[in-house]
Amino acid sequence: MILNQQQIQKNRKIRIHPPPTESQLQPCSIDLRLDDEYLQPIPDEKVDPQKNSPNYEYITGEKIIIPPHHFILGSTIETVEIPKNIVARVEGRSSIGRLGLTVHVTAGFIDPNFRGNITLEIANLSNNSIVLHKGMRICQIVFEEINEPEQVYGECGNKYQNQIGVTGSMVHYDNEFEGGI
């Protein structure tokens, strides 16, 4: 069952810091805001997930311009803490999507027990440059109750627990590759 605004606010185990403002509260979600740090993959480098992750250029600033058909990683200002009986999903806001901007390529799912900032996979699918500003409501988080799983995030070799700020890919640590977790 997807939680509505009142259920989200009453659930003391769902923690969002800093606490959402009134403008961030939606009927069944909470809008999250964009922070001021980004990772931009270095173009034209070969990435072999078995051996390495992309090299990134670290960028910080109150605003960033995303050219048409470009990709960066960003982060939410908010840190979230998900309890063991809740899963969450990060979704794009309609107003942002209508600009041609996605906020996650495939990683919109947040496991029970996750703690940290949410890294956003921001892609400009449009033919126009898009200016992003620190503090803008960039995405929304949706919460859903589940039966408590036997294993939760952080207990089964997860790589991103307690991430702070924007975090690049660590796919080369996957257990199917040599040296994995």
So where are the chain's domains? Answer: 5-169
Sign of the alpha-carbon torsion through 75, 169, 102, 24: negative
State residue 149's pLDDT score: 66
Let me know the angle formed at the C-alpha of 71 by 37 and 166, rounded to the nearest 5 degrees. Answer: 30
Global confidence as pTM: 0.84
Per-residue pLDDT of the chain (181 residues; tens, 9 = 90+): 999 999 999 999 999 999 999 999 999 999 999 999 999 999 888 888 887 788 999 999 999 999 999 999 999 999 999 999 999 999 999 999 999 999 998 878 998 889 999 999 999 999 999 999 999 999 999 999 988 666 666 666 666 766 777 777 666 666 666 655 5
77, 18 Cβ separation under 8 angstroms: yes
142, 95 Cβ separation under 8 angstroms: no
144 labelled catalytic: no
Catalytic hit among 37, 81, 91, 121: 121
Q: Is domain 5-169 classified as CATH 1.20.1270.10? A: no
